[in-house]
């Protein structure tokens, strides 16, 4: 007995229930059913407190609902707490469903249209998912930064630390960030990622989740959202450039050079801005407000991470230039070998004469007259 998949990887075969293939093909449907259980539980009075623990945001420190006396009410502000782990779990399930929808209705159709190889298909799926995620992170986080006024008053990043309550949108943004990187671990199994790629992707997800958890737990949410938005900008451009290379091939045309220049420029600017923002916040802004050990540790991690990314970027750029030079050097050699062959075929015997051009024309005229006389 088997069930055909509705969302996710489709197959003509119907695998047995509870088999690995069945779970992989129907994982989005299974997870969406679990999500529906939580949503239905929120509507039932007896299970509503348990369901709201996973769906709603908790640990609010202020806020008043609208009333007749105060129609606008008062904005709800939140802080970090242990109940946020339940919300991270629930929204990680939502991320799995959204991942499957994006894979099924967009990325799979693109891969079928371009007939990509297995390696390019894996890169397309990875970059396609990350482009969407970083784009959402960029706009959502940028909107939160604008609403909180961090750009026009940068001192808000460290003023009144550690009393930094979050708005609803900002806290939900942090919850979704943690949930996304958490959901990437089971996706390695659901998307049939090769085992040799697991280690690199798990390290990437673990590092991102650790950064989000540390910034959220140590109440660095304000400077953290700025750093994550900057990083997402660079990652969005980088994965867009990677998608261009995957779909169009490695063409050395104007578009490829332009996107490469934009990618490099944005990457360097983001790294410098992150370092400047980190030094301003952790070294100067939080001086006296946060423990010295915590400030030094946070700044050290940030600087080390930026240097590591810069080193990898420079190494990759040098490697690509060396490969392009080798290709450029190999092309002229082929042309030189082909030229003599073409000349031998095209060349025809030509009679050469030491006489001037006028005398040569005179000889031609005499020969033509002699031929005409003989013909008569």
pLDDT tens sequence for the chain (376 residues): 444 444 445 555 688 887 889 999 999 999 999 999 999 999 999 999 999 999 999 998 887 777 777 677 788 899 999 999 999 999 999 999 999 999 999 999 999 998 888 889 999 999 999 999 999 999 999 999 999 999 889 999 999 898 999 999 999 999 999 999 999 999 999 999 999 999 999 999 999 999 999 999 999 999 999 999 999 999 999 999 999 989 887 677 788 889 899 999 999 999 999 999 999 999 999 988 899 999 999 999 999 999 999 999 999 989 888 887 887 777 655 444 444 554 445 444 444 455 555 455 565 566 666 666 556 5
User: In angstroms, rounded to a whole number, what is the distance separating the alpha carbons of residues 168 and 144?
Assistant: 10
The b-or-e profile of 113-146 (16+ CB within 10 A means b, else e) is eeebeeebbbbbbbbbbbbbbbbbbbebbbebbe
Q: In a 10 Å sphere around its CB, with 0-12 CB exposed, 13-18 middle and 19+ buried, how is residue 1 labelled?
A: exposed
Q: Where are the alpha helices (DSSP H) in 191-291?
A: 195-217, 221-248, 254-278
Given a contact cutoff of 8 angstroms between Cβ atoms, the answer to whether 2 and 22 are in contact is: yes
Q: In a 10 Å sphere around its CB, with 0-12 CB exposed, 13-18 middle and 19+ buried, how is residue 43 labelled?
A: exposed
Enter the tokens of residue 162: 């550690």
User: In angstroms, rounded to a whole number, what is the distance separating the alpha carbons of residues 66 and 73?
Assistant: 4
Assess whether the previous peptide bond of 206 is cis (omega < 30° from 0).
no
Which residues are CB-neighbours of 74 under 8 A, at least 6 positions away? 62, 63, 64
Strand partners, 287: 290
């Amino acid at each position: 007995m088997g069930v055909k998949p509705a969302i996710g990887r489709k197959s003509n075969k119907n695998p047995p229930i509870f088999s690995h293939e069945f779970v992989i093909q129907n994982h989005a449907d299974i997870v969406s059913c679990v999500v529906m259980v939580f949503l239905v539980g929120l509507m039932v009075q007896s299970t509503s407190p348990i369901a709201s623990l996973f769906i709603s945001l908790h640990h609010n420190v202020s806020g008043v609902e609208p009333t007749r006396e105060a129609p606008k009410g008062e904005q709800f502000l939140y802080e970090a707490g242990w109940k946020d782990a339940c919300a991270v779990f629930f929204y990680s399930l939502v991320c799995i469903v959204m991942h499957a929808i994006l894979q099924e209705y967009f990325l799979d159709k693109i891969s079928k249209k371009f007939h990509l190889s297995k390696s390019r298909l894996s890169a397309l799926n990875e970059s396609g998912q990350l482009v969407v995620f970083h784009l959402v992170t960029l706009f959502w986080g940028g909107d939160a930064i604008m609403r909180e006024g961090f750009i026009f008053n940068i001192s808000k990043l460290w003023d009144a630390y550690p009393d930094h309550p979050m708005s609803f949108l900002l806290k939900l943004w942090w919850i979704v960030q943690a949930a996304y990187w958490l959901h990437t671990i089971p996706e390695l199994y659901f998307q049939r990622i090769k085992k040799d790629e697991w280690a690199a992707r798990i390290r990437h997800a673990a590092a991102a989740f650790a950064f989000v958890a540390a910034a959220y737990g140590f109440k660095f949410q304000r400077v953290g959202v700025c750093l994550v938005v900057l990083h997402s900008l660079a990652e969005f451009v980088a994965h867009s450039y990677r998608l261009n290379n995957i779909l169009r091939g490695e063409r050395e045309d104007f578009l490829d050079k332009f996107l490469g220049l934009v990618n490099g420029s944005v990457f360097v600017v983001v790294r410098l801005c992150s370092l400047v923002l980190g030094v301003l916040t952790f070294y100067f802004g939080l001086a006296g407000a946060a423990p010295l050990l915590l400030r030094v540790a946070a700044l050290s991690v940030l600087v080390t991470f930026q240097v590591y990314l810069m080193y990898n970027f420079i190494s990759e750029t040098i490697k690509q230039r060396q490969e392009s030079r080798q290709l450029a050097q190999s092309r002229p050699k082929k042309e030189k070998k082909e030229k003599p062959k073409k000349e031998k075929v095209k060349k025809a015997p030509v009679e050469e004469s030491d006489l001037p051009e006028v005398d040569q024309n005179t000889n031609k005229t005499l020969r033509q007259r002699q031929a005409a006389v003989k013909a008569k």
